[in-house]
């Protein structure tokens, strides 16, 4: 275990930065899985695991009483961000990835700000921004659209998908290239519903969106209703493709903005949802794992038609061989 005693650190020019601690706690036997998820966000992690302290070989009076009495059945992993940072996507990304990795019961805390303040204060950092011809506009912001811009209004709540994360930006860019009017679209791991909404705004006529997290399904349906797209987007709960509806002839576009391991797990099951014309857009892949995902696709009868990268993340456009 590593202890951090100070709330402030001095930068190169003497300035003082106040930090927030993003902390997740699970049962000790799931610690390695938690580290894997947290390392997708930050590699400088604080790991607190007291289960390996052997009191038989230690002098008890030299061990802090808090450690002696601590719950050793649980372990925590934390990372730190400046207090004025926009942690909205980090928090939602973490919640979703934990759910997808079989850790939906992980306790998540933001140390240094109470939950009510955090739930609202991050909004001041979420402003309209453009990805190609799509402009993502927070529901509480006003924006005057310019010619040919497509406005997507979002309130992500506690679900992943403000559009600011590299993984979401990458796949929205690919959607603009591959979605044509009248197409059908399947969004696996929809989060806030942003990709299904973008797809519908780009012309997709029949969109089906799924997420394992019931909170994400609720948030996505709220965004779909606010966008007036209930007649074109259906959003329901599903563990990847298990409860997902298939359509005759397969979908034209399939989106999966999840993590490498989950994409690999899904790959053997996705071909029945496809035809030879289907384009599968996979994102949420850290660059170091891209080769693993490519090899999995190729092993299962797919070919890579395009690769996009941004700041250590990659997205793939994939078709059947």
In the predicted structure, residue 16 carries a pLDDT above the cut 50: no
Summarize the confidence of residues 123-152 as an average pLDDT. 85
| Four-CA torsion 217, 213, 121, 22, nearest 10 degrees | -170
Domain count, the chain: 2
Using one digit for the tens of pLDDT, what is the confidence trace for 298-317? 999 999 999 999 988 999 99
Point out the domain boundary residue: 121, 153, 173: 121
The domain spanning residue 173 has which CATH number? Answer: 3.40.50.150
- Rounded to an integer, what distance in angstroms lies between the CA atom of residue 158 and that of residue 86? 13
Residue 161 banded pLDDT, cuts 50, 70, 90: low
Is there a single domain that holds both residue 97 and residue 209?
no
Is there a single domain that holds both residue 53 and residue 134?
no
CA-based R_g, the chain, Å: 21
Using one digit for the tens of pLDDT, what is the confidence trace for 65-120? 555 566 788 999 988 888 777 677 777 778 878 887 888 889 988 887 555 555 55
Is there a single domain that holds both residue 132 and residue 86?
no
Is there a single domain that holds both residue 40 and residue 24?
yes
Residue 229 near residue 150, CB atoms below 8 Å:
no
pTM to 2 decimals? 0.68
More confident: 23 or 156: 23
Is there a single domain that holds both residue 81 and residue 158?
no
In the predicted structure, residue 37 carries a pLDDT above the cut 50: yes
Shortest CA distance to 162 belongs to which of 185, 143, 138, 186? 138
- Among 125-129, 150-154, 260-264, 306-310, the range scoring the smallest mean pLDDT is 125-129
More confident: 47 or 55: 47
Is there a single domain that holds both residue 90 and residue 132?
no
Whether residue 167 lies inside any domain: the answer is yes
Domain of residue 45: give its range.
8-121
Is there a single domain that holds both residue 166 and residue 266?
yes
Q: Which residues contact 219 (CB under 8 A, 6 or more apart)?
A: 155, 156, 157, 158, 159, 191, 192, 193
Is there a single domain that holds both residue 291 and residue 208?
yes
Whether residue 2 lies inside any domain: the answer is no
Is there a single domain that holds both residue 30 and residue 100?
yes
Is there a single domain that holds both residue 64 and residue 80?
yes
More confident: 151 or 160: 151
Q: Looking at residue 256, what is its pLDDT?
A: 95
Q: Looking at residue 95, what is its pLDDT?
A: 83
């Amino acid at each position: 275990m590593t202890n951090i005693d100070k709330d402030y650190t001095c930068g190169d020019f003497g300035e003082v930065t106040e930090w927030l601690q993003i902390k997740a706690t699970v049962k000790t036997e799931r610690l390695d899985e938690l580290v894997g998820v947290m390392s997708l966000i930050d590699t400088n992690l604080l790991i607190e695991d007291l289960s390996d302290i052997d009191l038989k070989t230690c002098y008890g009076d030299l061990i802090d009483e808090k450690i002696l009495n601590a719950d050793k059945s649980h372990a925590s992993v934390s990372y730190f961000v400046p207090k004025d940072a926009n942690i909205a996507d980090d928090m939602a990304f973490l919640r979703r990835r934990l759910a997808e990795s079989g850790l939906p019961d992980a306790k998540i805390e933001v140390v240094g700000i109470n939950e009510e303040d955090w739930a609202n204060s991050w909004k001041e950092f979420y402003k309209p921004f453009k990805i190609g011809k799509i402009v993502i506009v927070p529901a509480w912001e006003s924006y005057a659209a310019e010619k040919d811009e497509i406005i997507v209004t979002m309130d992500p709540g506690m679900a992943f998908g403000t559009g600011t994360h590299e993984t979401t930006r990458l796949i929205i860019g690919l959607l603009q290239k591959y979605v044509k009017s009248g197409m059908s679209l399947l969004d696996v791991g929809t989060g806030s519903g942003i990709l299904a909404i973008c797809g519908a705004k780009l012309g997709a006529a029949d969109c089906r969106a799924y997420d394992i997290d019931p909170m994400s399904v609720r948030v996505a349906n709220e965004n779909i209703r606010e966008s007036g797209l209930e007649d074109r987007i259906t959003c329901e709960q599903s563990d990847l493709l298990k409860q997902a509806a298939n359509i005759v002839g397969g979908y034209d576009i399939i989106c999966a903005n999840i993590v490498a391991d989950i994409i690999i797990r899904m790959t053997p099951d996705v071909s029945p949802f496809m035809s030879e014309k289907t384009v599968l857009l996979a994102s949420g892949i850290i660059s170091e794992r891209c080769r693993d995902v490519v090899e999995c696709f190729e092993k299962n009868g797919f070919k890579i038609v395009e690769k996009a990268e941004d700041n250590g993340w990659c997205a793939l456009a994939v078709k059947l061989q």
